[in-house]
A and B are shown apart, each in its own frame.
Chain A
Amino acid sequence: NAGVTQTPKFQVLKTGQSMTLQCAQDMNHEYMSWYRQDPGMGLRLIHYSVGAGITDQGEVPNGYNVSRSTTEDFPLRLLSAAPSQTSVYFCASSRAGRSGNTIYFGEGSWLTVV
């Protein structure tokens, strides 16, 4: 009964480094999303996926890359980290359709870029 698992929970990066935030869910959910949370801004959508092999951009996609090769996993890649990407990142998943009104969030990943 893991739900949505995000790793790592905390990470410090140097400007220009790359890294991948992992997100996995064991509920066979079609929908998965990545958000970033910054003070005073709420949660803003980075990328989302409605199923394996299908991804789309959200409100703030620049500097991030995603893929969805399996239903379970939805990794978020920072290609060349910048201080502006210092944020808290949340992964979320849900079913499609009416049963998708229960949305599960990971515990968050705190990323600092120096």
Chain B
Amino acid sequence: AQKITQTQPGMFVQEKEAVTLDCTYDTSDPSYGLFWYKQPSSGEMIFLIYQGSYDQQNATEGRYSLNFQKARKSANLVISASQLGDSAMYFCAMRATARNSGNTPLVFGKGTRLSVIA
């Protein structure tokens, strides 16, 4: 079974500053994927970034980067140059990938509410 822990219920960041949202995970599966989603007040789930457990480099997507530390089982999201539009709920999630049985469903953390201050 997989478990995701997000220890920061809420975070504040000044506009144009960088912010790190923490995520730790637990799994016994050797192959897995880690995801970050953004949920604005309108409610939709917006995919931000993905990291595979065997990827050698940390994933980056524009202003988003994933600080993947496999030994520590952490997958922190870094948002650079925060914007007011980044204010939202952020969820870390993971799924296992088994060669024969396929992917498991996503398991989510409880989320971190980020507020960007002008």
Contacts and interface: CB of A to CB of B under 8 A. Distances in A.
A48 B103 contact: no
Contacts of A48: 105
Interface residues of A, number: 27
Nearest to A51: B102
Interface of A: 31, 33, 35, 40-45, 48, 50, 58, 88, 90, 92, 94, 96-98, 100-103, 105, 107-108, 110
Contacts of A41: 110
A30 to B, nearest CB: 8
B12 interface: no
Interface in B76-114: 91, 93, 97, 102-103, 105-111
17 contacts: A31-B102, A40-B110, A42-B91, A42-B108, A43-B108, A44-B108, A45-B106, A50-B102, A88-B43, A90-B45, A96-B103, A97-B103, A101-B33, A101-B52, A103-B106, A105-B44, A107-B43
B52 A33 contact: no
A108 B44 contact: yes
A38 to B, nearest CB: 10
Q: Which of A40, A90, A102, A105 has the most CB of B within 10 A?
A: A105
Interface residues of B, number: 23
B102 A45 contact: no
B50 interface: yes
Contacts of A88: 43
A44 B109 CA distance: 9
